[in-house]
Amino acid sequence: MLTQIFSVSPEWSAHFLLILARLTAAVVASPLFGARSVPVQAKIGFAVLLSLVVLPLQARPEAISTNLIVLASLAGSEVLVGLVIGLAISLVFQAVEMAASIVSVQAGFGIAAVIDPLSGMQTGMLEQFYRLLVTLLFFAINGHYLVVRSLLHTFEVVPPGHADLSVIAGGQVVPFFTSLFSAAVQIALPAFGALILADVALALVGRSVPQLNVLVAGFPVKIGVGLLALSASMPLVVAFLGAFLGRALVDVNGFLAP
């Protein structure tokens, strides 16, 4: 009797392994969930929990070959799809960091660098500030729910066992990258424009007063102008970031072609 109750179908077992392969790859590659500061046990547990949620939502699974080579090939395809979705979500955060890098280099903040606890990489102070800001906005707009919905949506578009590189919508990749680059420029534009004007003003001062060492005197001026521009534009940047994050996380669903 107990054997009948706890018996596990081979089809459902293979189905679960394929779901787990895709979700594990996506969780590891996605930001915040896959950060180095998150314990490995938490990442695996989260992927297993999502897999247990997805499994009952699937239709009766098709018979999947129990051949080890075939099953490994299917699992590899699922991992590739999961990595694509996770990296696409991660690129949304990288766009904000790119905007911070543009302003950081122009303002002179790039001289000092600190260790980012999320990525474990050495980043500038402004990049770390923007990363913390976008992280707070990510949770404020329920971005974690959007990420989970995006991961679950992949199984509606591409059922387990049917994943391969052909399901990736190549026509959506270029527009997605273009939108990210455009957003990065728009985020950096207020401070970057003020810094360009500061450079022009310093150049005019250098031409008027050749004795003045503009290179040395320009560092505190540009840092001050950069901080003032960032402070003045912060309300607009926060509003734009909130809308951009929500739109970009939804656009990730377009990476898979039905």
Q: How far apart are CA 222 and CA 194, in angstroms?
A: 9
What is the per-residue pLDDT for 50? 84
Highest mean pLDDT among 25-29, 64-68, 214-218 belongs to 25-29
Q: How far apart are CA 59 and CA 46, in angstroms?
A: 23
Q: pLDDT tens for residues 115-149?
A: 555 555 556 677 777 888 888 888 888 878 888 88
What is the per-residue pLDDT for 8? 59
Mean pLDDT of the chain: 76
Q: pLDDT tens for residues 63-100?
A: 666 667 777 788 888 888 888 888 888 888 888 888 88
What is the per-residue pLDDT for 114? 52
Q: In the chain, pLDDT over 70 holds for what percent of residues?
A: 78
The pLDDT of residue 227 is above 50: yes
What is the per-residue pLDDT for 5? 43
The pLDDT of residue 42 is above 80: yes
What is the per-residue pLDDT for 2? 38
What is the per-residue pLDDT for 60? 60
Its pTM stands at 0.74
What is the per-residue pLDDT for 170? 60
Q: How far apart are CA 193 and CA 238, in angstroms?
A: 18
What is the per-residue pLDDT for 209? 75
Q: Do 130 and 97 meet the contact criterion of CB atoms below 8 Å apart?
A: yes
- CA distance readout (Å), 217 to 16, 18, 197, 205: 63, 61, 16, 11
